[in-house]
A = this chain, B = another copy of it.
Amino acid sequence: MEKQLQRSRAVLPIGTVMKLTTLSARQIRYYETQGLIKPARNAGNRRQFSLIDVDRLLEIKDYLDEGFNMTEIKRVYEKQAKRQEKEHKDLEKPVTDEDVRHALHNEFLSIAGLKHWHSSSFPSDDLSKK
């Protein structure tokens, strides 16, 4: 069933993350207080990171190297979160017949040369992946 370490599985202690990111424990904890990451906690209150957390930390490192400060980086991720939230909702409710009819309707109008489609719900989807 589950093969490898899924990226979202929170099982890594801070020591491991330190090695994987070359960040100090102080830095990692500070970024958490700034809301940049939210590692899970185990029964003993130890932080448990996922590979997604590790990736984000590496990104944060890059941003910092490029001169961003905590607040700016936080904004980047808040925006990202909003985008994904929308994206998620769009996937949540699958296309209904109603949607299809409206789409077709607009399609016809467009073909008819009336090109009436009011700038609707398609975000320009930032493809800059790194």
A interface list, Cβ under 8 A from B: 4-5, 11-13, 15-16, 19-20, 51, 54
Which residue of chain B lies nearest to A51 when distances are taken between CB atoms in the complex? Answer: B5
A20 to B20, CA, bound (A): 18
A5 to B12, CA, bound (A): 12
Determine whether the beta carbon of A12 is less than 8 Å from that of B16: yes
Determine whether the beta carbon of B20 is less than 8 Å from that of A16: no
Which residue of chain B lies nearest to A10 when distances are taken between CB atoms in the complex? Answer: B19
Contacts of A19 in B (CB 8 A): 11
A39 → B minimal CB distance (Å): 13
A127 → B minimal CB distance (Å): 18
A126 to B126, CA, bound (A): 46
